[in-house]
Amino acid sequence: MKKSFSIFTLLLLMATAMQAQDATNQKKPDWARWHYLSEAEMYDTSRGMNFVETDPPTGEPRFVAEFEPMQGVMIRYPLGIPTSLVAQLSNNCMVYCIVSNSQQNQAQSSFQNAGVNMDNVRFVNAQTDSYWVRDYGPWYIFEDRHPAIVDNIYNRPRPNDDNISGVFADYWSIPMYGMRLEHTGGNMMEDGRGHGVSDDLVFQENLQDYGINETTVRQRMQDYLGINPYHVTIDPQGDYIAHVDCWGKYLAPDKILIAQLPQSNPRYQYYEQVAEYFETTNCCWGYPYHVYRVQEPGGYTLAPYTNSLILNKTVYVPMGSNSTYNNDAIAVYQEAMPGYEIVGVNGGSAGWENTDALHCRTRGVMDFHMLFVDHRDVIFGEQEWQDSIPVVSKFIAYSGANLKQDSLLVYYSIDGGAYQTAHMTATGTPDEYVGYIKGYQGESEINYYVFGADESGHRYTQPVFADLDPHHFTMEAHEPTPQGELIITPDTLWFEHNGDEQAFTIVNQTNTVVQINSITEEGGYLLSDTPNLPYNLQVGESISVGFLFSFPLKANRASDDYVSSLIKVQTSIGEKHVIAMISKQGMVNLVYQNEMYFDDPTLVIESSFFNKSVFVPTIRVMSITEKDTDYLNIETNPTPPFDLEFEGEEAFLSVSLKDFAKGYVNTSIEIETDYGVFEIAVHINEDILTVTELTAEAKLYPNPTTGQFTVEGANVAKVEVYNLVGQKVHEAEGKSVSIDAAEWNKGIYLVNIIGQNGAVATKKLVVK
C-alpha cells in the first residue's frame, strides 16, 4: 500500500520496461501495478506461496460488516497509527496487537507510557512484513451460527503478512476456509447482508495472475463469503492503490460515503460516475442507497476521510491538512450516523496519506456472540392500504442464548407521535418473528425500527440508529367505505327447548378489515358465546357466534307458538340483524325446592312452588306423587288438580316420612303439569338417632319471625339457610347464632342445623 521508492528505482524500472519490449519471448511484468512496492518486493514472486485452498463452507456464510458489533480491533506493532489512538481504541474494546516475541516488551512499554488500558490489550505473537493489517488480516464470517475465517491469496509478495489469517484461526480455534482468489482487505467492503463492493482491480489481478475470469470471481465470493450481489466498480482515483476504502465506505446497509472532488479536477467525472451508480442501485433493503458525499480538495492536500474506522458506536476519522475540510467531513459523518461519536484522529509521527490512513492500518474483530437482527423485508415508500402492517424479522443469537421473548419488539411512531411497541411472535419459520403496526390512517407517515435482546445480555436494533434514523413508509389514502358485503348465515335461529344451542357465521367478504364491536340479544332469553370484542375480522375471515336458550327448566309440550327476539351485530360498517325464534313451550319456569333431605323420621318438610312463566298465564298442576316407592306422606294445598296463576300465585307442599326402612334411601316426587313433568329428589338418612338427638336439643326462635331469629344448641356447629328454590341465603358458625332476616323476602325458608358430628337437622322458618 505504501508508495515510497527512489528516483533511481523508477528510472531502472522504465529502462527495464523498454528492454522488455524488444524481447520477443520474454513476458512483460506489470510494473504499473507493482510500482508502489519496495524495490525488493518488486522482484519477489512469493505471493500466495503458503496459501492452501479448501472447499467452501458447507453452512450458509455471512460476511460481517464493519458497522456491526465488534469485540475488538487488530493492529500490528511496530505501529502505523499513533499510540494515542491505541489508547482510545483500548477504551472502546479489546485491542489485538500482532507483534514478534522480540518486540513485545517494547510494545508493552510504549503502550503503558501512552496511557493504553492494558487490561484490554492482547498480544498475538507472529512475524509480519508490514502494518497494513486491513489488507492481510482475516476475513471473519459466521458459518450458520459459528465463527470462521476466510483466507485468500494476498496480492502482495509478503509471506509473513499472508500467514496472519492462519495465526488467528489457531488463536481463536475456529475453522479457516481457503478461497483461491487474489484479493486484499482494502479493496473489500460488505454490508453484512450479502452485498459487497470492490473496484475492478479484483478482476484484473485474478485474470492476469491466475487466469480466473469474472464469473468465477463472483461465484467464489458467493460460495465462501455469501456475497451476492457483488458491486464491482471502476477505480475513480485512477491511482496506484486501487482500493475501495480510499474513496468509499459502507456506513450502514443502505448508506454509502463517497468522496467528491472539485469539478475542475480531472478525476471529478469518475467519482460522479461511481456515486450515480449507487444512487440508482438498490441496497439490500430494496431501495436505492443513500449516498453521502465528503468533499476533498484534490491534488496533494491531505484528505483521507473515507479511510475511517467504525468501531461499535464510534467512528475514528483520519484528519487531513485543511481544518475547513476536516470540519465538513466530521459534519457529514454526524449527519449520516446519528447517535455515533465521531472522533477526528491526527496521524501523529506515522502520518496519513490520502490513499493510506487509519482504516488501512486496523481491522475489526467481529463479536462472536452478537445478536443479529435481520429484518430483510423493510417497509418503505407508499404502501397499499391494509388495516395492519406485518413486520417480519429474524433474530440470530450467535451466543447460543435464548431470546428474550418479551423483548422482541417493533417500535413505531405514527405521524410524528410517541413511539408505541408491538410484541413480535414466532411465525413457525426458524428464528423468524412477526409484529404488527396498527392504528394509522390513510396518508399516515410511519417510522419504525426492530429491537431484540437475548439472555446473554446482547441487544441490537435495525436500523442501528433506532429512532434517530428509523425505517420510514407512508400509507396510501384510504377510502373508508368498503366494497363487498359482511355476510351472516343463517339469518334466523330456531330454539325449540330450553338448553338448545344454535349458531350463525359472520364472513367478511369486503375489501377491508371489519371491526365487530358488540353482539346483543334484546329479549334476554339467550346466552351468547362470542369472541372477545371488539374483534377485527380480517378480509376473507369468518367467525362463529353461538347462543344457548337459557331458561332453567324444560317442559315437554309441543307447540307451534313462537316468540321472536332480535340479535344485533354492531360493526364498523353498520348494524346487522339475526332473528331468534323461541318456542313458548320452553319458557315455563315452575320454581320449587328440587331436593329434600330427611335426617329425622318425625320431620315435616314444607315447600312451595309457583309459576314464573313469561308467556303462559296459567300452569295446570294435575298430580303430585311419590315415584316408585312408598316412603312419603305428601299433602298439598290446594289439592291437585289446581291452577297456578301468573304473577306468582303459590301452592304449598308438605312431606313427611310414612315409614322408615333401615338403610340410606333415595326416592323422588313427581309434579305433573300440562307443560311437563318436574321432579324433586328426596334423600333419607339412615343415622336417625344422631339426627333425632340434634333435632331435639337444637332450638330455633322466634318462628315465625319479622326480623332477627336465633339458632342455638350445645352440639350445633354450623347453620345454613336456604330459600325454596334451593339458593343459600345465609351461613354462620357457632353454638349460638343470631341472624337478621329483616331484609329477606317474606315466605318460607329451610334452616339446616349441622351438628359437630356432621349430622344435619332441617327446620322450617317463616319470615313475615
Dihedral sign from CA coordinates of 477, 479, 484, 486? positive
pLDDT over 50 (residue 557): no
pLDDT over 50 (residue 432): yes
Q: What is the rounded CA–CA span in Å between residue 96 and residue 364? A: 9
In a domain, 53, yes or no: no
Residue with the three cell numbers 380480517:
538
Answer with the one of 586, 611, 635 that is the final residue of a domain: 586
Q: What is the rounded CA–CA span in Å between residue 610 and residue 619? A: 9
Reduced to 3 states (helix: H, G, I; strand: E, B; else coil), residue 591 is strand
Per-residue confidence (pLDDT) for residue 296, from 0 to 100: 94
Cell numbers representing residue 371 in the block: 445478536
In a domain, 142, yes or no: yes
Q: Do residue 207 and residue 70 come from a single domain?
A: yes
- Beta strands 196-199 and 230-233: pairing type? parallel
Mean residue pLDDT of the chain comes to 86
Per-residue confidence (pLDDT) for residue 762, from 0 to 100: 80
Q: Do residue 654 and residue 746 come from a single domain?
A: yes
Per-residue confidence (pLDDT) for residue 326, from 0 to 100: 96
Q: Do residue 339 and residue 396 come from a single domain?
A: no
User: Is 360 labeled as catalytic in the residue annotation?
Assistant: yes
Reduced to 3 states (helix: H, G, I; strand: E, B; else coil), residue 210 is helix
In a domain, 89, yes or no: yes
Answer with the one of 586, 601, 622 that is the final residue of a domain: 586
More confident residue, 220 or 18: 220
Q: Which of 540-544, 557-561, 633-637 has the lowest mean pLDDT?
A: 557-561
Q: What are phi and psi of 106, to 5 degrees?
A: -65, -45
Q: For residue range 714-744, what is the model confidence (pLDDT) as tens digits?
A: 888 899 998 876 788 999 999 899 999 988 8
Q: Do residue 676 and residue 564 come from a single domain?
A: no
As a whole number, mean pLDDT of residues 337-342 equals 97
Please, is 662 exposed, middle or buried when counting C-beta atoms within 10 Å of its C-beta (0-12, 13-18, 19+)? Answer: exposed
As a whole number, mean pLDDT of residues 83-104 equals 97
Burial 214-246 (b: 16+ CB within 10 A, else e): eeebbebbbbbbbbeebbbbebbbeebbbbbbb
Tell me which of 93, 97, 283, 360 is the catalytic residue.
Answer: 360
Q: What is the rounded CA–CA span in Å between residue 143 and residue 392? A: 23
As a whole number, mean pLDDT of residues 97-108 equals 97
pLDDT over 70 (residue 694): no
Q: Do residue 624 and residue 733 come from a single domain?
A: yes
In a domain, 234, yes or no: yes
pLDDT over 50 (residue 630): yes
Q: Do residue 134 and residue 223 come from a single domain?
A: yes
Answer with the one of 366, 400, 415 that is the final residue of a domain: 366
pLDDT band, very low/low/confident/very high, at 559 (cuts 50, 70, 90): very low
Strand order in the sheet with 604-611: 590-591, 604-611, 650-657, 632-637
- Give the CATH number for residue 538: 2.60.40.10
Cell numbers representing residue 678 in the block: 318436574
Reduced to 3 states (helix: H, G, I; strand: E, B; else coil), residue 110 is helix
Q: Do residue 120 and residue 249 come from a single domain?
A: yes
DSSP summary character for residue 27: P
Q: Is residue 605 a contact partner of residue 654, using CB atoms and an 8 Å limit?
A: yes
Distance of CA 304 to the CA centre of its chain: 42
More confident residue, 252 or 34: 252
Q: What is the rounded CA–CA span in Å between residue 374 and residue 192? A: 10
User: Which domain does 752 fall in, by range?
Assistant: 590-767
Among residues 275, 472, 353, which one has the least CA distance to residue 2?
Answer: 353
Distance of CA 35 to the CA centre of its chain: 55
Cell numbers representing residue 391 in the block: 413486520
Among residues 230, 226, 168, 156, which one has the least CA distance to residue 200?
Answer: 230
In a domain, 371, yes or no: no
Chain length of the chain:
768
pLDDT over 80 (residue 468): yes
Q: Do residue 233 and residue 277 come from a single domain?
A: yes
Per-residue confidence (pLDDT) for residue 29, from 0 to 100: 41
Cell numbers representing residue 183 in the block: 484479493
Per-residue confidence (pLDDT) for residue 490, from 0 to 100: 93
Q: Do residue 468 and residue 494 come from a single domain?
A: no
Q: For residue 728, count other CB atoms closer than 10 A to its CB.
A: 10
In a domain, 350, yes or no: yes
Q: What is the rounded CA–CA span in Å between residue 245 and residue 189? A: 8
Per-residue confidence (pLDDT) for residue 646, from 0 to 100: 63
Q: For residue 512, count other CB atoms closer than 10 A to its CB.
A: 21
State the Rg of the chain over Cα: 45
Q: For residue range 355-395, what is the model confidence (pLDDT) as tens digits?
A: 889 999 999 999 999 999 999 999 999 999 998 999 999 99
In a domain, 48, yes or no: no
Q: For residue range 36-83, what is the model confidence (pLDDT) as tens digits?
A: 455 555 555 566 678 899 999 999 999 999 999 999 999 999 999 999
Q: Is residue 557 a contact partner of residue 513, using CB atoms and an 8 Å limit?
A: no
DSSP summary character for residue 406: G
Q: For residue 295, count other CB atoms closer than 10 A to its CB.
A: 17
Q: Which of 30-39, 90-99, 258-267, 475-484 has the lowest mean pLDDT?
A: 30-39
Q: What is the rounded CA–CA span in Å between residue 763 and residue 751? A: 5
Q: Do residue 194 and residue 127 come from a single domain?
A: yes
Reduced to 3 states (helix: H, G, I; strand: E, B; else coil), residue 430 is coil
In one-letter notation, the amino acid at residue 199 is D
As a whole number, mean pLDDT of residues 16-22 equals 37
Q: Do residue 545 and residue 565 come from a single domain?
A: yes
Q: Do residue 694 and residue 727 come from a single domain?
A: yes
Q: What is the rounded CA–CA span in Å between residue 605 and residue 305? A: 102
In a domain, 372, yes or no: no
Distance of CA 441 to the CA centre of its chain: 24
Instruction: Write the CB contacts of 646 (distance below 8 Å, at least 6 apart in sequence).
Output: 611, 613, 616, 617, 618
How far lies 537's CA from each of 178, 256, 458, 481, 513, in Å? 55, 44, 38, 16, 6
* 3-class DSSP string for 182-204: EECHHHCEECCCCCEEEECHHHH
As a whole number, mean pLDDT of residues 136-143 equals 97
pLDDT band, very low/low/confident/very high, at 554 (cuts 50, 70, 90): very low
Per-residue confidence (pLDDT) for residue 2, from 0 to 100: 36
- Give the CATH number for residue 386: 2.60.40
Q: What are phi and psi of 481, to 5 degrees?
A: -85, 115
Q: What is the rounded CA–CA span in Å between residue 606 and residue 593? A: 9
More confident residue, 511 or 649: 511
Domain count, the chain: 5
Q: What is the rounded CA–CA span in Å between residue 368 and residue 362? A: 18
Instruction: Write the CB contacts of 344 (distance below 8 Å, at least 6 apart in sequence).
Output: 317, 319, 326, 330
Reduced to 3 states (helix: H, G, I; strand: E, B; else coil), residue 311 is strand
Q: What is the rounded CA–CA span in Å between residue 605 and residue 751? A: 11
